[in-house]
Each structure stands twice: as structure tokens, then as C-alpha cells.
Structure 1
Amino acid sequence: MSGELKPLVHGWPHSTRGTIQFWAQRTEEEEWIAACAGAGLAAATRAFAGIEDGGPIDLVISVGWAGALTPEVAAGSAHNCAGVIDARTGERFNCDAHAGKLWLATSPRVADETEKRRLATTYKTSLVDMEAAAIARLAAMRSIPFYAIKGVSDPLDAKMPDFNRFIGHDGQFQTAKFVLFALLRPWIWPVLVRMGENSRKASQSIAERLHELLRE
């Protein structure tokens, strides 16, 4: 989602191609490109392909929101992951140097509390997202250094509505449909407000953690 990248790409030129949004920052020595195409593995694959159309990639970083799988992982924080596990296949992908200690699981759906606890128990992971395993696999196939930096948008015990019903087959979030759903259920408003605040903090933390990684 574009909100995941907002603090990171502030001021970068922006463009779109189909369902893919791009931001690019160029200097005389290097070029950085950010892309997003929606939620899920297929959308992440499209975003990667969109960047690769512009030429060879030297380094790839999967950034974005994730859910916490343990109570110790605080909402709003960001983490440089040690590796990624595809929850569908069990495949493991290590991140490159300067990696952290926490492992990330990639799920094909937005995980509720029950699924979070299952993932933590099964894979001994601390975070869950919906995209990183796709990017890790593509990077491994091309022998490209891979990193994953994830910001926590929802703690383990967050009582969230079922967001899966509002994500289309193309990975696009159906905002109008969700707004109507939320307007008719005022009891979920406090949950959404907290999640919005956590997500904004997480996006800022992602940008800060990425800049730390690049300095290292």
C-alpha cells in the first residue's frame, strides 16, 4: 500500500503503470526505485516485475506493514528481519548481512489472532506479512541481495475486522466498500483509529530503520 512507503519516498517523483505505483530517486551514482501494487504475493510479484522492466536490480528490500506474532513485538516498531518463511510451502529465505534476529512469516491472508498464534508456534516467527516471501524468492532466483524491513501495524491481540473480504483478486483494497462497512459499525471505530495510529508510526519507523541499514 502507498501508505506503507509514504515517509520513505516523500518528495520523490511519482508515476503509475496499471495497478503499480512507482517512486524514483536518482543521483549521478545510483538510482532507487520503490513500487507497490497492492496486497498479497501476486501483487508483490507484479511490483518486482515492474521495477525489473527498467533494468538489472542490484539490491532488493521488502518494506511494509506486518502483524506481531508475539506480545513482545510492539505496535509501531520496525524490524530488520533475519529471514522470511513462506507459510504456504515452508520455504525459508535468509536475509543478507546486517539482518536482525526476528523471522517473518508470509501468509496468503490477513492473519487474525488465532492464525497469528498458529504461525508463531509452527514456524517460530515473530512477524507476519503478505508479500515478503514472493520478493525473497525472486531475489534468490536472481542471486540479488535481499532484505526485509517490517513495521508493526497491529499487535498480537488486536481485534481487527476481517480485512480479507475487502481485498480484491488484484490485491487492491476496496476502500469504498470498507468505509461503508465501518460506518455502519461504530463499535469498531476505536480499533481502526488505533490501527491507523500504529500504521503511521510503523511507516515512519520503517523509513528510519532503512536509513540505518543503508548507513551500515
Structure 2
Amino acid sequence: MKGNIAIIAALEGELKPLVRGRGEGSWKRRGSGKGCSVWEYRHAHGCWIAACAGMGEVRAAVAFTEAEKVAAVDAVCSVGWAGALDGAIKAESVMGVSLVVDTKTGERFRAAEFQPSWPVLATTTRVADEREKKRLAASYGAKLVDMEAATIARIALARGIPFYCFKAVSDDADARLPDFNPFVAEDGRLKMLPFLAHVAVRPGSWSGLMKLGRHSSAAAKNLAEALYGWLDESPSVRGLSGDYTEKQR
């Protein structure tokens, strides 16, 4: 993919297989603000910039800002883990997203690479549990859920650049996991010690967490492979319009 492409995730674990995928020294770690991680891959037609700054809309905007400090961004791709809302979608799979719905504002953003068979993703302000997943599926016709994609899509629209979205499924629709929300810090990361103390006395959650760990690791590796397949394509993104907003009917 020719041009400067920003690849925005929430957490380092989502990006590590990508930035390690071309051998030692291919990706260069760049200086960044507190709580952020940024890598750059230079190629003959521009660069790829991978950035993460934590979960949620505020931190997603921070990651995008950090990416823009490296180079003028021609297109942006929201990537990372997402939860499945449909039982037919299995953990560890990677999916292109056709439409992102911001559940807080009702805005709908269409991806530049739109395929009708690709799923709708709902962006929420909190980590969705099993009950919330059912509500999101029923209310929005969504099949995936995350916490960042709508923010990235909105920024892309404001900048007039194309928005893309690929998500790796970390947990099935019926996954039973503890409530992560009380342990998400202001920097969008998990307060690990309090969280571990919380689950240590709740053995019923251990199996689900172990599955989440296995699925997340495999999903990140599969995402890296899928992203390289997309990034290595030849078209240029420079000069493409960023107005892919889904018009309300």
C-alpha cells in the first residue's frame, strides 16, 4: 500500500506480532508521549506507522496524534482485538469491517474498503460483557464490538483521509469473563495488580481468562499476517477522499 499509513491499536499486545514480523530492524521504535508506543517502517513509497496509547476514545485520539508526529498521514487503519457479538464468529479470526457505529453518538462510519459481506462493528465506551453483547447485536445489527474504531473513523473524516478497519476476535459472543471496567485506568490500560487480586479469589473466572489469553495471542498473530497481506498490495492511498460517512436514512 503506497503512502503513509497509520495503524492505530489500543495495546502493545495487538501490535507486537506486526512490528516483529519483518525481521530485526525493519520497524524502528520512535520516541512518543507518556503512555504511548510508536513504531515506523520506512519503504520506497512512504511509511507505515503503528501506534497505541490504551483503550477508549480519548486514548485512541492520543495514538493518532502521536502517529501524525512521525509523518503526514495519508490513510488510517483501526486495528486490534474485538469481541464477537455473533456465535458464528469464532475467536482468533480476523475480519475486515464495513461499517462502524458509535453507540454513544449514533454516528455511522463506512470504511473505505467496503464489502457488504463484512460485518458491522459497534464502538462502546466500556468493555462489553455477555449481556451487553446481546444488546449491541440486537440494537445495531453489529457482529463485533470494540472501544476505539469510531474515534479513528471520525478523525479520518475530519482529516479527509480514507479509513480502514481490521479486527482480530479475542473472545466469543458467549465468553464469560470478569468485569474489566473497574480496573481500566485513565491511560486506557488495565490496572493489573488490582485486577489480579480481584480474580485470584474468583476461581470461576480463571478458565475464561486463560481462554482469552490464548485467543488474544493467536488473534494478534493472525491480524499481523492479514495486515501484511493488505499493506503489501500495490494501490496508492494518496489523494483518496476521506468522506465515507454512512448517511442516515
Normalising to structure 2: TM-score of the pair?
Answer: 0.83
Alignment match of 1:4 (pick from 4, 10, 14): 14
Q: Which residue of 2 aligns with 1:14?
A: 29
* Amino acid paired to 2:33: R
CA distance in 1, matches of 2:204, 2:55: 26
Unpaired runs of 5+ residues, structure 2, are: 1-10, 234-249
Match runs of 1:38-187 below 5 Å: 38-97=54-113, 99=115, 101-187=118-204
Instruction: Give the SS at the match of 1:7.
Output: helix
Measure, in 2, the Cα distance between the counterparts of 1:69 and 1:27: 37
Partner deviation per Cα, 1:116-167 (whole Å, 9 max, x = no partner): 1111111111000000000000001111111111011111111110001110
Offset of residue 108 of structure 1: 0.3
- Give the stretch that moved more between structures: 69-78 or 45-54: 45-54
Compute the displacement of 1:45 (Å).
0.4
* CA distance in structure 2 between the aligned counterparts of 1:135 and 1:92, rounded to whole angstroms: 12
Q: Is the 8 A contact 1:78 1:209 kept in 2?
A: yes
State the superposition RMSD in angstroms.
1.4
- Distance of 1:97 and 1:168 partners within structure 2: 33
Deviates more, 1:158-167 or 1:171-180: 171-180
Aligned to 1:30: 46
Give the percent of matched residue pairs that are identical in Structure 1 and Structure 2. 45
Displacement, 1:178? 1.3
Q: CA deviation at 1:215?
A: 4.1
| TM-fit CA distance, 1:188 | 1.6
- Counting matched residue pairs gives 216
Determine if contact 1:83/1:95 at 8 Å carries over to the other structure. Answer: yes
Contact 1:66–1:129 at 8 Å: present in 2 too?
yes
In structure 1, the gaps of 5 or more residues are none
**Structure 2 letter corresponding to 1:107:** T
Runs of 4+ in 1 over 3 A off after TM superposition: none
- Would the aligned equivalents of 2:49 and 2:70 in 1 still touch at CA under 8 Å? no
Distance in 2 between the 1:25 and 1:213 partners?
15
Q: CA deviation at 1:50?
A: 1.1
How far has the Cα of 1:56 moved from its partner? Answer: 1.5
Q: CA deviation at 1:53?
A: 2.4
Measured after TM superposition, the shift of residue 93 of structure 1 is: 0.5
Matched residue type, 2:14: E
Q: TM-score when scaled to structure 1? A: 0.95
